[in-house]
Structure 1
Amino acid sequence: MGEGSTTILSLVLNASMEYLSSETSTPSQIGDRSTSDVVVRIRTEDGRDDRLYCHSQILMEKSKYFADRLSENWPTCQILDSRNCVDVYCQESEFDHHVSVLRLFYIIVDGLFDDLWHGVKNAIGILQVAVKLGCPQIITACVNYLEAVPWEESEEEEILKIIPRLGSQVEPILARLLPVNHSSIMAIFLSTIRFATSSPLPIMNDLKSSAQEQLEYMLTEDDDAPLLTADDEIKSEVKECVKRLYGRFKNLLEALLSEVELSSDGGKMQSFQSFLSDLSWACQILTKLEIMRELVCNWMDASDKIVKVVKQARPTTELIETKLRVVEVAAKILEAIGYGTVILPTAKRLHMVKVWLPFVRVAKPLIDSATTTGDDAPTLKMDSELWQSLESTFVSIILALPSVEQAEILTEWLENEHIQYPDLTEAFEVWCYRSKVSKRRLSFISVNHDKIDAH
């Protein structure tokens, strides 16, 4: 027998396994040959054959299967040791659970059942046998136990595989796994987005991060569809929450700009960094919901101020991490612009390049060279694809500008000491090609103009 089942059997044997017969008022106990009138043979395909001496009154009361087999309606019944004999066939893996069920018949107090399962796996095995043999009392006790206790992931998978096959009587076990209605999903989503975009005390940052992760998971389409569809109500609430988040960020930005040197109040810079992390996460959500425009425009309007705050801050190890957080948000904003998610006029796109291209080319070597020099130094977690993605975004934005503006940017790039990043070679090659063939490619325009003027 398995270790878990052996434990169950020993506990059952040690418990009060006496059944008081209403007719004879004498105690009955499983295995008591002096009072037994039925032999139950548990048999497997592998040839295992164990006999348990039982009592017909108990078997018939506890199990529909035995009630049928021992009734007068059953055509034949084997005789063994001058007793009725009932065969029960099972797989080897089910053997211990069949023995456990028979022994559980002999427990008087229902409450004892709560202490006898010793694990989800054993309870599932006993439940399957109880359903097979038609044992309502044990089925109820198993269901109550499994419905109440925690499950490990492997146990949950087994429950999903087995329980649905056992009928409606065990359905309460699946209650925690059933799909949730739309109104419940909406309620928890709205509560979570409000908390995730709030600015709680630092001690609650882990809780906020967890909320942000779950929101992103709710909206992600992976092997399963997103948990909810992004309708107008969801989009409106998310936009409002991010708007309030950005409003607090902007207020802090203005407060930092008013300080001559950002070294006296480290708390403000920590808050600034926290806001940047939240805005970086917000970009992920807004992108999924296709509502990035407002944040892009707000960030664009504040870009000069953000760069100024970082530049006037006293150089510290923490400042390097702040620069990284700024780059992370800027990269997402620029990506929305560069790939047409948010459409902006030429002047604003040009302004974004002129603000963030110099900032990024100076920030990258500082961030790349940053190392942890002590317990107090932050551990920078950089996305390995961040710089490559940002470089591609700059190329995309530059190539969408008028050729004259492209030439200005490329000239500055070729003369800059930080020419290696971002590498604008691709933009330079495209500009050269376009410039060389432009007269030939656009010659039809002047021809058409001449024809129009002639008329």
Structure 2
Amino acid sequence: MKNPESLSQSSNHPNPNSLPTDKMVTGAGAATSKKRQRAVHAANLTASSSTRSSSSIVLDKPGPNPIHKPHDPSLPLFNDVASADVILRLTVDPTLSDLTSDHSPDDVVLYLHAACLRRCKYFAALLSDRWQPRNQDGRDDVVLAAPYRISLEVPPAPGAIEARISLLRLLYSDDDDFASTINTAAAAIELLPVALELLFEDCVRRCVQFLEAVPWTEEEESRILALVPLLSEDESKDLLARVSGTNNSSEEMLYGLITSVIHNPNMAYVKAFVAKLLREFSARDSAERVLERAFQSTFKVVKESMEDYTRPGVRGDHNETEAIQRLNLHTAMTNGRHLLWLVERMVELRVADAAVKAWSEQPSFTADLQRAFRDDAWRNIVPGLPGVLLRCTAKLSSAIASGTILVAAQVRKKLVNDWLPVLIVCKDNTSPLTPNNRPLYLDLEDTFLKIISTLPMLDAKELLQQCLIFSTRNFDDCPHLVMAFNTWFRRAARPPQGI
């Protein structure tokens, strides 16, 4: 900001905060705050013995803002021509104006009072005794020219002049009147940069306090973040706490949501909502890590439950052993459903690569399933368990067969090799086909045969021989098996191709 004596003087401004509060900065130069050192669009404030020749809007009706409470008679009236000792002109900075515009905004002239203006550190420094002439008798009391003229240059932004008038009105108000003016986030955002510019600490504090306590729109949040660098660390910490997370806060939140919905009953609608969040989550890598983490922990519970069921370590009362076995099956069933939901989400988001690899490295788990499904105990306890686990297998296998998930041939072979025996056991223990029903395992047969067709000839030969169980009494009921063998024989008949 420029000095109050001359438009041309602009250097070596003293700092008002370096002096006692009753002795503000004097001398030529801009009044700035050493405490804040704020890089704001400072208004150009100058004193002049004559007014500008441009047209002016004079607010010639003194009085407080209509939305304020009745005026305190102990305070001067805002914009009172009769009693004013300072004339302040608000004018658009010509160096920042739009040169292509034919219209020049009118100036605004305000009749103000030094006693009120001194509430603002900028004006307190500007009007301090070192800036003013002394009495001829050498006394220290300040003699202001009557009236003292100041010009304040304003950026040519919409609402810039109005924001400064609102702030100047607050200099004539007590603390209760702040609530009448700073009553919306938009109002606080408009006033805050002006208060920072003119070092009106009470207004800065009230704006920050209000913004910290009220909701923001997305646009308001962007504007507030742009103002945060102008605030001190203490002023900005509460605002930043609302918008700044830790490095992994998003992942922890997402994992918490997934854990909550998969471990609570009757959460179908919530599962649908979380599935939508996952689809729309902007950071795909984070979603992948969260889903993999949930998949691994849930899969571990299923495997441990089936291991405890097939190899119980309990010795003693038969009824107690049976109760524990039932609990193991129920635990496997419940977490199997959760696992299916997670697999569906991973396939949907195309982030199931790790799940496929984990599913293909389960010789021990699939052996436990074969042992469990060969007896009849599970039928009356968890009849849906084979279907749930085969659906997980089908989801992952279909993604491989369709090219949604690309994995190495060795992974494809291991997946079929481990899960084909489980499919065969399930087929042997499932009711026969009906004309209008195509069971899940037939779809899985077809998918396995498609995957086998992608393997090297020797690997395909080994696995195809295990698929003979897919055949039925009616030759027409297994076209997928016929096609798979015909494809293999056609390729086998081709002469070796040199490289």
| Of 32, 52, 63, the match for 2:80 | 32
In the alignment, structure 1 residue 43 sits paired with structure 2 residue 43: no
Query: Which 5+ residue runs of structure 1 have no aligned equivalent?
Result: 1-9, 21-25, 254-269, 314-318, 369-386, 445-455
CA–CA distance in structure 2, aligned partners of residues 87 and 16 of structure 1: 28
Deviations 1:64-101 (A, max 9, x none): 2x33444466699xx99955233231222433322222
Q: 1:134 to 1:197 in 2, by over 3 A?
A: closer
CA–CA distance in structure 1, aligned partners of residues 275 and 375 of structure 2: 29
In the alignment, structure 1 residue 128 sits paired with structure 2 residue 193: yes
RMSD: 5.9
| Of 450, 459, 462, the match for 1:395 | 450
TM-superposed deviation, 1:135:
1.7
Q: 1:247 to 1:39 in 2, by over 3 A?
A: farther
CA–CA distance in structure 2, aligned partners of residues 216 and 367 of structure 1: 31
Does the CA contact (< 8 Å) of 2:306 and 2:365 recur in 1?
no
* Counterpart mapping for 1:402-417 below 5 A: 402-403=460-461, 405-406=463-464, 409=467, 415-417=475-477
Does the CA contact (< 8 Å) of 1:192 and 1:215 recur in 2?
no
TM-score by length of 2: 0.54
CA–CA distance in structure 2, aligned partners of residues 177 and 296 of structure 1: 44
Deviations 1:356-383 (A, max 9, x none): 8999xx89x8699xxxxxxxxxxxxxxx
TM-superposed deviation, 1:202:
2.7
> Which amino acid in the other structure matches residue 223 of structure 2?
E
* Counterpart mapping for 1:317-332 below 5 A: 327=391, 330-332=394-396
CA–CA distance in structure 2, aligned partners of residues 307 and 13 of structure 1: 86
Equivalence for 1:15: 68
Q: 1:289 to 1:72 in 2, by over 3 A?
A: farther
Query: Which 5+ residue runs of structure 2 have no aligned equivalent?
Result: 1-62, 98-103, 134-143, 311-329
Does the CA contact (< 8 Å) of 1:114 and 1:145 recur in 2?
no
TM-superposed deviation, 1:435:
0.8
SS at match of 2:211: helix
> Which amino acid in the other structure matches residue 118 of structure 2?
M
> Which amino acid in the other structure matches residue 166 of structure 2?
S
> Which amino acid in the other structure matches residue 395 of structure 2?
A
Deviations 1:113-167 (A, max 9, x none): 356434323322221222222221111111112122222333323333x224424
Equivalence for 2:165: 99
In the alignment, structure 1 residue 55 sits paired with structure 2 residue 113: yes
Q: 1:47 to 1:152 in 2, by over 3 A?
A: closer
In the alignment, structure 1 residue 196 sits paired with structure 2 residue 256: no
CA–CA distance in structure 1, aligned partners of residues 64 and 452 of structure 2: 74
Equivalence for 1:278: 338
TM-superposed deviation, 1:436:
1.0
Deviations 1:9-31 (A, max 9, x none): x99533237467xxxxx322323
Does the CA contact (< 8 Å) of 1:17 and 1:107 recur in 2?
no
TM-score by length of 1: 0.58
Indicate the percent of aligned positions where both proteins have the same amino acid.
17
| Of 85, 96, 105, the match for 2:150 | 85
In the alignment, structure 1 residue 113 sits paired with structure 2 residue 178: yes
> Which amino acid in the other structure matches residue 172 of structure 2?
Y
Q: 1:235 to 1:131 in 2, by over 3 A?
A: same
SS at match of 2:187: helix
Does the CA contact (< 8 Å) of 2:192 and 2:203 recur in 1?
yes
CA–CA distance in structure 2, aligned partners of residues 85 and 143 of structure 1: 29
Between stretches 41-50 and 129-138, larger displacement belongs to: 41-50
CA–CA distance in structure 2, aligned partners of residues 275 and 428 of structure 1: 37
CA–CA distance in structure 2, aligned partners of residues 39 and 104 of structure 1: 17
SS at match of 1:129: helix
Q: 1:435 to 1:237 in 2, by over 3 A?
A: closer
TM-superposed deviation, 1:407:
6.8
SS at match of 2:182: coil
Highest Rg: 1 or 2? 2
Q: 1:403 to 1:246 in 2, by over 3 A?
A: closer
Does the CA contact (< 8 Å) of 1:190 and 1:237 recur in 2?
no
Does the CA contact (< 8 Å) of 1:63 and 1:134 recur in 2?
yes
Does the CA contact (< 8 Å) of 2:121 and 2:199 recur in 1?
yes
Q: 1:100 to 1:419 in 2, by over 3 A?
A: farther
CA–CA distance in structure 1, aligned partners of residues 353 and 337 of structure 2: 16
* Counterpart mapping for 1:263-302 below 5 A: 275-283=335-343, 284=346, 287=353, 292-293=358-359, 300-301=366-367
Q: 1:113 to 1:201 in 2, by over 3 A?
A: same
CA–CA distance in structure 2, aligned partners of residues 131 and 303 of structure 1: 70
TM-superposed deviation, 1:108:
0.5
Equivalence for 1:436: 493
| Of 197, 206, 221, the match for 1:141 | 206
| Of 212, 224, 227, the match for 1:159 | 224
Q: 1:113 to 1:84 in 2, by over 3 A?
A: same
CA–CA distance in structure 1, aligned partners of residues 487 and 162 of structure 2: 76
SS at match of 1:151: coil
In the alignment, structure 1 residue 67 sits paired with structure 2 residue 120: no
TM-superposed deviation, 1:192:
2.4
Does the CA contact (< 8 Å) of 2:359 and 2:415 recur in 1?
no
Does the CA contact (< 8 Å) of 1:43 and 1:49 recur in 2?
yes
Does the CA contact (< 8 Å) of 2:87 and 2:149 recur in 1?
yes
| Of 220, 238, 242, the match for 1:176 | 242
Does the CA contact (< 8 Å) of 1:16 and 1:107 recur in 2?
no
Q: 1:433 to 1:137 in 2, by over 3 A?
A: farther
CA–CA distance in structure 2, aligned partners of residues 177 and 300 of structure 1: 47
Deviations 1:261-318 (A, max 9, x none): xxxxxxxxx9999755411244438755887249955774576678999x989xxxxx
| Of 414, 418, 443, the match for 1:348 | 418
CA–CA distance in structure 1, aligned partners of residues 221 and 421 of structure 2: 55
